Amino acid sequence: MDDSELRAALHEAAPQVRVPADLGSHRARILAEARARRRRGWRIWGASAAASIVLVGAGSVAMAGGGMETPWGWVADNVFSIDQLDGSACFQGFLVKWDGLAEDDPIVREAKSFVSSIDLESLDTTQAEASLREANAQATDGDGDVSPMTLSDAQIKQYALNQLIAEMLWDDLEAHGHKIWPGHEVSLASQTSDCR
């Protein structure tokens, strides 16, 4: 019996195990879907989840360390707060994360520099907010029935900022010739205090 016959016999005798398709190519699939969605337009859950990591939490709005320390104890690359009608404020911190890269890798340095340079207060989120409101109005439940989602203006603003900053970041990285692939990637994380 030669190697090919042995391999064939082992293959036939082995139990048939079906590996879920998403295990081996999960990261590559998410990145490819994010790029495709970005080109088609941003939707509330798709682009935010794939292109960026959104962590929602609650906390105080106290800031220290030059305005970049978050209420959760980590230092952000950029921060934004929204004054609410009741006089309180909700807070949003943005952080560039990287996987498989050194902190001084050119793509990491470019991403952190770009995110920290954005004047969040001056960004026009009108179009992104309108898109999100439309998507929320057309949301469906598990049965496919229309089930509109209700979010406050401040929550819509937070989601719109996430989408807009992520889109701007990916465009900036692409314009500077940076490529992202599994093991050589950056992501945008955002954590927010509870907006009403």
Instruction: Say how far apart CA 92 and CA 160 lie, in whole Å.
Output: 12
Assigned domain for 46 exists: yes
Task: Determine the structural domain holding residue 176 and report its residue range.
Answer: 23-192
**Per-residue pLDDT at 161:** 93
Assigned domain for 155 exists: yes
- Eight-class DSSP state of 43: -
**Per-residue pLDDT at 87:** 79
Q: SS3 of 140, please?
A: strand
- Residue ranges of the chain whose pLDDT lies below 70: 7, 10-67
**Per-residue pLDDT at 44:** 38
**Per-residue pLDDT at 11:** 60
Closest CA to 71 of 194, 196, 158: 194
Q: Which phi and psi (to 5°) does residue 13 adopt?
A: -80, -20
**Per-residue pLDDT at 127:** 95
Type and span of the H or E element at 117: helix 106-117
Assigned domain for 145 exists: yes
Instruction: Say how far apart CA 120 and CA 123 lie, in whole Å.
Output: 5
Assigned domain for 17 exists: no
Residues 6+ apart with CB under 8 A from 71: 59, 60, 61, 62, 63, 91, 193
Assigned domain for 161 exists: yes
Assigned domain for 8 exists: no
Assigned domain for 39 exists: yes
Assigned domain for 81 exists: yes
Exposure on the CB side of residue 37, measured as CA atoms within 13 A: 20
CA distances from 103 to 77, 97, 181, 183 (A): 13, 9, 17, 14
54 torsion bin: left (phi>0), alpha (psi -120 to 50), beta (else): beta
**Per-residue pLDDT at 188:** 94
**Per-residue pLDDT at 37:** 45
**Per-residue pLDDT at 50:** 34
Q: How many domains does the chain have?
A: 1
Task: Say what angle helices 21-40 and 153-175 make with each other, to 10 degrees.
Answer: 100
